[in-house]
């Protein structure tokens, strides 16, 4: 599908389903625009997969570890818990990402927005080509 096709078919076409793209697409839809959202990778973008969510989840575990190890400073019994298991913490981080990603699935957004996931190629400044994931596997 070429970018000109998107321009003919949709009022608004947004490239990138990160925080900005998801909000823009949702608002465009609420304003009554026929909206398409193109994502080359995973819905959710940096914030969900590598930024805000993993970093804050990791920091939460680190803070918890610190507080438990300093429990006496809070008037609690001494609770030294040894070394943190980083592999387990990363599993927890992944589970938090997965639980949020469940609510950002393509199918959920497709109820209101036309989603197009897959690699895209600029053919010229005005032509955008989307290779749907399905085609990549064929
Ligand atoms: C470690 C870390 C911690 C952070 N913590 C916070 C925080 O606590 N709070 C906060 O507000 N912000 C935080 N941020 C910043 C936040 O992640 C970004 O501001 C936010 O993700 C930007 O969203 P975006 O939609 O603009 O871009 P992105 O999230 O980068 O989304 C862009 C999307 O577009 C897709 N895309 C790009 N090019 C194309 C293309 N040509 N065709 C199709 N798709 C394409 C990408 O695959 C991606 O999914 C953090 C960032 C990092 C790295």
pLDDT in tens, the chain (138 residues): 666 677 788 999 898 999 999 999 999 999 999 999 989 889 999 999 999 999 999 999 999 999 999 999 999 999 988 899 999 999 999 999 999 999 888 888 888 888 888 776 555 555 666 655 444 444
Residues ≥6 apart with Cβ < 8 Å to 14:
21, 24, 25, 28, 35, 36, 37, 38
The closest residue, in CA terms, to atom 10 on ligand 1 is 52
Testing ligand 1's pocket by substitution, the residue of 44, 52, 58, 118 carrying the most ligand atoms inside 8 A of its CB is: 52
The domains of the chain are located at 1-44+105-133, 45-103
Instruction: Report whether residue 116 contacts ligand 1, using a CB cutoff of 6 Å.
Output: no
From the alpha carbon of 38, which atom of ligand 1 is closest?
Answer: 43
Asked if residue 43 lies in contact with residue 105, where contact means CB atoms within 8 angstroms, the answer is yes
* CA gap 136, 46 in Å, rounded: 23
Angle among Cα 11, 48, 67 to the nearest 5 degrees reads 150
**With the C-alpha atoms ordered 109, 115, 118, 124, is the resulting torsion angle positive or negative?**
negative
CATH architecture under which domain 1-44+105-133 falls: 3-Layer(bba) Sandwich (3.50)
CA 114/CA 101 separation, integer angstroms: 18
Domain 45-103 has CATH 1.10.287: yes
The sign one gets for the Cα dihedral 113, 114, 120, 121 is: negative
The residue whose CA is least distant from atom 12 of ligand 1 is 52
Contact 39, 21 (CB under 8 A): yes
**pTM as predicted:** 0.86
């Amino acid at each position: 599908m070429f970018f000109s096709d998107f321009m003919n078919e949709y009022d608004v076409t947004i490239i990138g389903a990160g925080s900005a793209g998801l909000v823009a697409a949702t608002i465009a839809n609420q304003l009554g625009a026929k909206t398409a959202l193109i994502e080359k990778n995973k819905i959710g973008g940096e914030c969900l997969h590598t930024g805000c969510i993993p970093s804050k989840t990791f920091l939460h575990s680190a803070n918890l570890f610190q507080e438990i190890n300093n429990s006496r400073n809070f008037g609690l019994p001494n609770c030294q818990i040894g070394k943190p298991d980083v592999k387990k913490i990363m599993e927890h981080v992944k589970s938090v990402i997965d639980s949020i990603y469940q609510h950002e699935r393509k199918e959920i957004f497709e109820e209101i927005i036309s989603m197009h996931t897959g690699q895209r190629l600029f053919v010229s400044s005005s032509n955008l080509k989307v290779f749907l994931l399905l085609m990549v596997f064929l």
